[in-house]
């Protein structure tokens, strides 16, 4: 089967969940014998307009970022050009759109060629934009509202043009039904996956800790997030300030990059938690498994819009208990494992209470940590392998092409 993926992110540079899903699915579909092309934007870190990524052909178009109008105009024009280029080389059996903007440019072409389209919704684009930008001064005027409306309109047009919509969680499915008035019968839930060979427990954390220059005698909490407001990292820092009053041998290692980095460093000073929290910066994809293997627990302090959370199942596959706020898809994952892994609410106090409780239980009963690790690993293996995800995805593509 010849598959063409439209995306607004790149499979060549994994910096977040959307890129991770795109890379994992596209490369695994190639391994199963399909041809996969990706059309996406060209980013500053890209050295060329084309790259072969483990058998996947990624084609990149330039987009002008002077303003929202120029960005949309160049996206439509240049995505159409690349579609024509790919389509002239070989037929396209099915299209999979991962985000709305690149796909928006070719909607009319799709109708004329009668190519079936599947839309993979990681999150609602206009909500993500509002979460990232809405708190900035000067952006809540008429132009800001127009951009929100345009993003919602474009996303809705692409969603309604799709023959089938895929989401990673019930949370996102309900969002689509309420925000875009889509029928539930058109939406399939296909949970994300984890590379079980890369993410696995360490027989001994000592080697991983020495490699990362992490202390051997601390109870280490780990989180890796984009440093943006919706991730709840400020509340996590405040929670650590509460925890260390009772548990002084705690260390939080916080990985990630983003606009909040300086604010978070300032908050460490204000809360007196500088010696209990290590801000690691961006963690490259190849180093991420080592960070999971050196930790005692993973923390997911999200405040809003947690569609699924691939880091959750990566941590579980690594044998780590995951403690998360009761937000979005996190509830669906952790409630299956044990309700104790969900914080009572999103407050620093609730986070601190659950983390202290788990620490006390492990210190009183050291074998408990190994038992928890085994259960987390088994849960990830049973429910969240990429093989399971790809088999389901492939069957959807095949069914649509037959129809």
Q: Are residues 172 and 266 in the same domain?
A: no
pLDDT at 155: 94
Q: What is the pLDDT of residue 130?
A: 83
The total number of structural domains in the chain stands at 2
279 closest CA partner among 296, 298, 259, 257: 257
398 and 356 fall within a common domain: no
Measured from the Cβ of residue 328, the count of other Cβ atoms closer than 10 Å reads: 23
Alpha carbons 89 and 83: distance in angstroms, whole number: 10
In a domain, 98, yes or no: yes
Residues 6+ apart with CB under 8 A from 69: none
The reply to whether 183 and 148 lie within a common domain is yes
Do 318 and 216 fall into the same domain?
yes
**Alpha carbon of 340 to those of 178, 210, 274, 357: distances in Å?**
30, 31, 28, 10
- pLDDT score recorded for residue 367: 95
Report pLDDT for 140: 57
Q: Are residues 251 and 363 in the same domain?
A: yes
- Asked whether residue 263 falls in the same domain as residue 338, the answer is yes
pLDDT of residue 134: 56
* Block mean pLDDT (10 aa), the chain, length 403: 95 88 97 96 90 96 81 88 92 94 86 88 88 57 82 93 95 94 94 95 94 97 94 97 96 95 96 97 94 98 92 97 96 93 97 97 96 97 95 96 84
Backbone angles phi, psi at 55, to 5 degrees: 95, -10
159 and 49 within one domain: yes
- For residue 198, is it within any domain? no
Same domain, 87 and 232: no
Q: Verify that 23 and 96 share a domain, yes or no.
A: yes
Q: Which domain holds residue 92?
A: 2-193+385-402
Are 181 and 91 part of one and the same domain?
yes
Please tell me the total number of residues recorded for the chain in this structure.
Answer: 403
Looking at the fold, whether 129 and 260 belong to one and the same domain comes out as no
Q: What is the pLDDT of residue 105?
A: 85
In this structure, what CATH number is given to the domain that contains residue 145? 3.40.50.2000
Residue 354 in any domain: the answer is yes
């Amino acid at each position: 089967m010849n598959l063409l993926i439209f995306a607004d992110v790149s499979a060549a540079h994994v910096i977040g969940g959307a890129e991770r899903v795109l890379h994992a699915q596209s490369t695994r579909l190639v391994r199963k014998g399909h041809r996969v092309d990706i059309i996406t934007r060209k980013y500053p870190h890209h050295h060329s307009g084309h790259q072969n990524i483990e058998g996947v052909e990624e084609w990149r178009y330039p987009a002008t970022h002077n303003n929202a109008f120029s960005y949309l105009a160049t996206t439509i024009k240049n995505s159409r050009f690349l579609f024509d280029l790919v389509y002239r080389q070989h037929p396209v059996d099915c299209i999979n759109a991962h985000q709305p903007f690149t796909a928006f440019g070719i909607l009319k072409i799709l109708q004329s060629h009668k190519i079936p389209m599947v839309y993979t919704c990681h999150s609602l684009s206009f909500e993500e934009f509002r979460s990232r930008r809405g708190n900035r001064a000067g952006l809540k005027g008429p132009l800001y509202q127009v951009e929100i409306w345009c993003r919602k309109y474009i996303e809705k047009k692409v969603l309604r043009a799709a023959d089938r919509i895929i989401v990673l969680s019930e949370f996102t499915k309900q969002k689509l039904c309420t925000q875009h008035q889509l029928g539930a019968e058109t939406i399939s839930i296909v949970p994300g996956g984890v590379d079980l060979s890369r993410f696995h427990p360490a027989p001994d954390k000592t080697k991983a800790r020495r490699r990362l220059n992490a202390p051997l005698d601390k109870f280490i909490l780990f989180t890796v997030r984009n440093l943006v407001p919706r991730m709840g990292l400020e509340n996590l820092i405040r929670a650590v300030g509460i925890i260390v009053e009772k548990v002084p041998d705690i260390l939080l290692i916080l990985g990630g990059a983003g606009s909040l980095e300086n604010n978070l460093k300032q908050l460490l000073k204000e809360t007196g938690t500088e010696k209990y929290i290590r801000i690691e910066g961006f963690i490259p994809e190849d180093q991420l498994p080592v960070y999971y293997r050196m930790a005692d627990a993973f923390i997911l302090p999200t405040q809003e819009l947690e569609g699924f959370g691939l880091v959750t199942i990566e941590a579980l596959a690594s044998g780590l208990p995951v403690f998360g706020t009761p937000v979005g898809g996190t509830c669906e994952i952790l409630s299956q494992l044990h309700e104790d892994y969900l914080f009572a609410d999103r407050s620093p106090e609730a986070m601190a209470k659950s983390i202290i409780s788990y620490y006390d239980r492990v210190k009183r009963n050291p074998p408990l940590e190994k038992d928890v690790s085994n259960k987390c690993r088994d849960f990830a293996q049973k429910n969240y392998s990429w093989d399971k995800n790809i088999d389901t995805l492939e069957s959807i593509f095949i069914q649509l092409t037959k129809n």
